[in-house]
Structure 1
Amino acid sequence: MPVIKILPHHEYCPEGAEISASAGTSICEALLEHDIKIEHACDMSCACTTCHVIVRQGYETLNEAEEEEEDLLDRAWGLEPQSRLSCQAILAQQDVTIEIPKYTINHARENH
């Protein structure tokens, strides 16, 4: 079972964390299942960029990004070459390390 190492984020995961998730699970689903409440304004339908993460290690082990995801990522704050939408990044058998960017572009943030 792969491990996702989450680097510290001031709001979602101040101490950082390591969580296990089944292969075939999206990074977003895994985070939410472990009470790391990453934003996902479009309910994981690949229609926004609020679940943007930067994959610091293990990027090449994830499924390949489709064109729709790549087009959306162009609008993400803090875009880097290893950026992915966590709702579209599917885990394989290898561990990954992710960073949740400091900011997100969400004009309709709920529950805050």
Structure 2
Amino acid sequence: MPIIKILPHSEYCPAGAEVNVPSGTSICEALLDNDIAIEHACDQVCACTTCHVIVREGFASLSEMEEGEEDMLDRAWGLEPNSRLSCQAIVANQNLTVEIPKYSINHAREK
């Protein structure tokens, strides 16, 4: 099983973490299944950017990005060339290192 290394994030994963996940799982599902409560305001249907992650290692091993994800990512805070929506990025057989950006745009929560 591949390992996802999550870099420290002050709110979601202060100490960082490493989790074993079955291939075929989305990064978002893997984090949630391992008590890392990443935001996912649209319930993982590619309708927001709250689950945006930056894949620091293993990016090429993920499922191919579809047009809908590309369009949504344009709205993400801190977008980088190796950004993905974690609800759409499906883990293959390679280990990953991911970073959860410091900020997220969640229109449902903003005042």
* TM-score of the two chains, using structure 2 as the length reference: 0.97
Counterpart of 2:42 in structure 1 is 42
Determine the C-alpha separation between the residues in 2 that align with 1:52 and 1:62. 14
Determine the C-alpha separation between the residues in 2 that align with 1:41 and 1:74. 17
Query: Structure 2: which amino acid aligns with 1:28?
Result: C
Stretches of structure 2 lacking an aligned partner (at least 5 in a row): none
Runs of 4+ in 1 over 6 A off after TM superposition: none
Answering whether residue 73 of structure 2 is matched by residue 105 of structure 1, we say no
Counterpart of 1:88 in structure 2 is 88
RMSD, aligned α-carbons: 1.0
State the percentage of identical aligned residues. 74
Answering whether residue 52 of structure 2 is matched by residue 32 of structure 1, we say no
Structure 1 residue 14: Cα displacement: 0.2
SS at structure 1 position matched to 2:47? coil
Query: Structure 1: which amino acid aligns with 2:73?
Result: L
Structure 1 residue 108: Cα displacement: 1.4
Stretches of structure 1 lacking an aligned partner (at least 5 in a row): none
Counterpart of 2:59 in structure 1 is 59
Counterpart of 1:6 in structure 2 is 6
